[in-house]
Structure formats: structure tokens, C-alpha cells
Amino acid sequence: MKHRYPSVLPLAVFAIGMSATISWGSGSLIPPAEALSGGIPVAFMKSLDQVEPRQMIAMLPYAIVIPGSYYLSQNLMGTTSVAGITIACSDVHLDLSGFSINGVGASLTGIHVITPNTENITIRNGIVRGWGLFGINATNARDTVISHVKASHNRWGGIYAGENATIEQCATYGNGLFADVTSPPSDGGIFAWKFGMILNCVSRNNKGAGIFVQDHGKVLGCTATESPLADGIRASSYCTIRDCVSARNRGHGIRVESMSRIIDNTCGENGRSPILWTNSAGIAAEGGNNIIEKNIVAGNYNGIKTTAPGNLVIHNAASFNIIPFSFTDPTFRGPTLQPTGVITNTNPWLNFQIP
């Protein structure tokens, strides 16, 4: 006869495991001293302001009247007759968080700094489009930084900033088609008042100048194309324009006044579409004492054109322009060489005409 005995081994293992578990999980039930204050438990949870110290913008219109950091939580839609976001104080950081603020035809400006002489405004990382006036108008502010913003199809200008501004890695497209006639023009892609820097930006198909910087400004590493009625890049005096591309604009590729340096740029097919404009040039200097050096001008009506005396033009290459060089003398320049093969001329100031 077979005898059946209860299995005690699993029960023993289970008991040992439970004992070990209880032993490992045991400890003092008396809270540490720092957990109590006057016998009352101390809260260790963070408040919402501590977790996210920025102020969320969840709808438009929105007025920023207190310095601080603000951010978008979603795409937002504007309404008629008002601006989207107004800024009325200094020391504001506005993060669009990759979202867009969208205007309607009868709305005002998307983001507008409304108080004069404000300082230290940052606007970044998002899209501003379809507003009845400007995409961004920060001309009342100094020391503004606008970065990684796309402004498109605003009825007036795309991105406009005041003195000491830095505008970097921004893109503007299709702005200014319904702007009023103002001075300076309000129909451009990107604009910066005096002492500004515009860096690594792209501007295309804006009614006014793609990029416009006032006195003592810099435009570096930018692309400006297809402005139907104006220049690609426009600068006042004491400016530097370097490493830029300006092409297929109705006006000049690059236009400066005086005391400026235009170096290492490529300017092509300006002033030739939809019809020829005989005044246009790849590079145009309307004042004196500019240095125009190491640029490529190709397929323009005029390659390089000066309309005032006293400019220095050296070491440029012009090809397939209707008029390669047009100078108002005295323009100080290297000789123009049209090479036919190996270049044996060692003059370091040569300007090349190809073909």
C-alpha cells in the first residue's frame, strides 16, 4: 500500500521566505527628527511653482506685465483687433516651446513689446504667423534676443527688433504684402535697429528687404532671396556683411550706405526677374569708404556698382552679369582681369571677370 504524506518542504521554504521578508522590511516606526516640527509632520512635497517656476500662457490675448519666464503649452489662435502677446516690462523670457501663435486678418501684432525703453527681452523657439500687423515687433526694447523663431505670412514685417538686438537662426517668409509705407519700411523680413546682429537667418519672398540692419550692425551667415520689390540684404553705415547669400531679389543683392565692409558673400541673379531692372546690382554701395572684398557676383544686371566716390573694391569675381563692374570714380580698385587659362598675374588686388 502506498502512503501519501503531506509535503512540508514548500511550506518550510515559504515560512523562511516570509521570515526573511519581514526581517528585511522591518525598522523603526519612529519618524526622524527632521520630519517633525513642533510635533507636526513637515511637508516634503514641492509646490507647483517650485516644480515649474515659469508662467504658462494657455490662451490669447495675453499681457506680460511682471518680469519673469513665460511659456506656451499649445498652439494658440489670436482674435481680431488685438495683439497676441504684449510685453510691458523688462527682463522677460518668452519660450514658445515649439508651438505657434496664429493671427487672423484683422488682428494686430503677434508679439509686441509695447513699453518704450524696456530691456532684456528674450523670445525663442516657435512660430508666429498670419498676424494683421507684425509677427514680432520689439522695436521699443533694447538688448533683445530673438532666436529659433519662424515668422510667416504676417501682413506687415516678420521680425523687428530695437537697438542692441541679436536675431539668430530665425526664418521669415511671405511677410509685408499689405504694410503701410513707413520709414524705415515696415514690410521686410528681419529688421534690427542700431548696433544689432543678425546671425544665420533665412529670409525669403518678403515684400520689403529680406534683412535690414541699421548703423553699426552685422549680418553674418544669412540667406536672403526672392524679395519681389526690394533688396535682399540692406545695411546703413558702419556695418559688416559677411558669408551671406543674396539671390533673385528684385532690387540689389546687398545694398549699403557708407563706411561698411562687404566680404565673402555670394550674390546671384538679382534685378533680373520678372523684368530687368537696370539700376540693380549684386552689390551696391551708395556711399563712400566701403570695402568690397572677396565676393562672388553672378548673373546680376550689374555685378558690383558704386554710386559715390571713395570706395575700395578688390579681389572680387564677377561672372555672367550684364555689366560686370560699374564704378563712380574715384573708386580705388584692383585691375579687372578676364582670364583665358592659367592665371600668371600676381597682383593680389585683382578683380576677375568670368567670362
- Residues 59-72 have pLDDT tens digits of 999 999 999 999 99
What is the spatial distance between Cα 354 and Cα 337, in angstroms, rounded to a whole number? 9
pLDDT of residue 190: 98
- The structure's pTM equals 0.85
The mean pLDDT value for 72-88 works out to 97
Helices (H) and strands (E) in the chain, counts: 2, 40
Q: Which of 145, 273, 251 is nearest to 188 (CA)?
A: 251
Q: How high is the mean pLDDT of the chain?
A: 90
Class of domain 65-353: mainly beta
Q: Which of 226, 308, 314 is nearest to 270 (CA)?
A: 226
Q: What is the mean pLDDT of residues 244-269?
A: 97
Residues 146-161: tens digit of each pLDDT: 999 999 999 999 999 9
pLDDT over 90, % of the chain:
77
Domain ranges of the chain: 65-353
pLDDT (0 to 100) of residue 22: 44
